[in-house]
Amino acid sequence: MYACWLRKSTLVTGHMARKSVLQIGGQHSLAIEFANPFAYAVARQETFAKFSESSHPSEVKRMSRRRKIYEGKAKILYEGPEPGTLVQFFKDDATAFNAKKHEIIDGKGVLNNRISEYIFENLNRIGIPTHFKKRMNMREQLIKEVEIIKLEVVVRNVAAGSLAKRLGLEEGEVLPRSIIEFYYKSDELDDPLVSEEHITAFGWASPPELDDIMALAIRVNDFLSGLFLGVGIQLVDFKIECGRLFEEDIMRIVVADEISPDSCRLWDLQTREKMDKDRFREDLGGLLESYREIAKRLGIMNENEPVRGTGPVLVKSD
Ligand code: ADP
Ligand code: AIR
Ligand code: ASP
């Protein structure tokens, strides 16, 4: 039997075979039997990740031992299983304009986890160093802990977003060459644009570190441009974060955080349709469908997975 203990109000993903109401610790709960081990595993991962408080008491105990290190706008970092590792949990929260706009988009975290896994795994494979170790489940990945460099490194190929606004360029204008920009990572200051001079003068990164960061950014741009072009998508721009990884007395700059449609601008080559977080920023709707389409084109998602299958499905109690 593949069963999962949930509170009556809990949302679960998966195909149920049977469910019944039970009593645990004075609270009504649902014991759900799943048709197959896969549906069970999916529901468990979703449930424990998102609704840890609604898990069976023994699971709650196991979960609560994991220490939360940091909670950001879109992700949570937990202490990892070994020293020097962290677990990166992808939430469904969508924010823009420094979190002034906020919404929960059911299933976004699952898709970003998968898309970011795919990109980081391939970056590792072609020798671009990253923090990524492996995906653990629907919402979590195991990463190497790094000392984050407080910069958002943006590479642009086409005018859009803040660049188009700042310089009065027409959105969609192809830039004479790829341009790298740095923004100082500070919510209080709204991530201001900074120059290399600021970065080295204030010691946020040293000149050789900055050289490494720029070389990484260009390599990531080349890789991502080709990857997306191959599936009919134009890479307009993207943001990466880099960190210092200390391993065996040496320090390397690696790509950290995530690379997903939350951190890239991606346009369909044929229709010019926006397929990234601008759908949320500009109230265009259909964000989840676009992210799924990206995952599908990259061959990440199984064709048979239902469009909203990444989000939990409401279970009505009997
Ligand atoms: P924010 O902090 O901007 O709200 P997130 O919600 O995405 O962003 O939170 C993830 C945080 O984890 C970011 O601050 C990011 O800099 C940090 N981070 C990403 N990768 C690593 C890593 N490998 N080691 C340490 N911190 C990391
Ligand atoms: N970005 C910057 N801060 C957070 C994110 N996600 C990304 C945007 C866009 C690029 O950086 O998603 O792909 C440039 O953003 P902007 O707003 O400066 O034009
Ligand atoms: N994610 C950032 C915020 O929450 C910026 C953005 O992506 O628009 O404001």
The overall average pLDDT reported for the chain is 84
CA–CA separation, 92 and 108 (whole Å): 5
**Is ligand 3 within 6 A of the CB of residue 186?**
no
Q: Which atom of ligand 3 is nearest to the CA of 191?
A: 5
For residue 64 the two structure tokens come to 């609560």
Share of the chain above pLDDT 70, in %: 75
Global pTM?
0.82
**Is ligand 3 within 6 A of the CB of residue 64?**
no
pLDDT band of residue 301 (cuts 50, 70, 90) is confident
**Is ligand 1 within 6 A of the CB of residue 257?**
yes
CB atoms within 10 A of CB 317: 14
For residue 207 the two structure tokens come to 């000149």
CA–CA separation, 251 and 169 (whole Å): 39
Q: Which residue has the higher pLDDT, 53 or 247?
A: 247
**Whether 230 contacts 243, CB under 8 Å:** no
State residue 56's pLDDT score. Answer: 42
**Cα dihedral sign for 315, 62, 86, 53?**
positive
What is the mean predicted confidence (pLDDT) over 126-154? 98
**Whether 313 contacts 12, CB under 8 Å:** yes
User: What's the start-to-end Cα distance of the chain, in Å?
Assistant: 20
- 153, 239, 264, best to mutate for ligand 2 pocket (most atoms within 8 Å of CB): 239
26-35, 195-204, 237-246, 297-306: lowest mean pLDDT where? 26-35
Q: Compute the distance from residue 263 Cα to the ligand 2 centre, in Å.
A: 6
Q: Which residue has the higher pLDDT, 3 or 136?
A: 136
Give me the residue label for tokens 């201001």.
192
CB atoms within 10 A of CB 140: 20
CA-derived radius of gyration, the chain: 21
State residue 54's pLDDT score. Answer: 35
Q: Compute the distance from residue 255 Cα to the ligand 3 centre, in Å.
A: 19
Which domains, ranges and CATH numbers included, belong to the chain?
A: 2-63 (no CATH), 67-144 (3.30.200.20), 147-296 (3.30.470.20)
Q: Which atom of ligand 3 is nearest to the CA of 187?
A: 9
Q: What are the start-end ranges of the E strands in 98-222?
A: 101-104, 132-135, 140-144, 147-148, 151-158, 174-184, 193-194
> How many CA atoms within 13 Å lie on the side-chain side of 242?
26
Q: Which atom of ligand 1 is nearest to the CA of 256?
A: 20
Query: Helix (H, G, I), strand (E, B), or coil: what is residue 74?
Result: coil
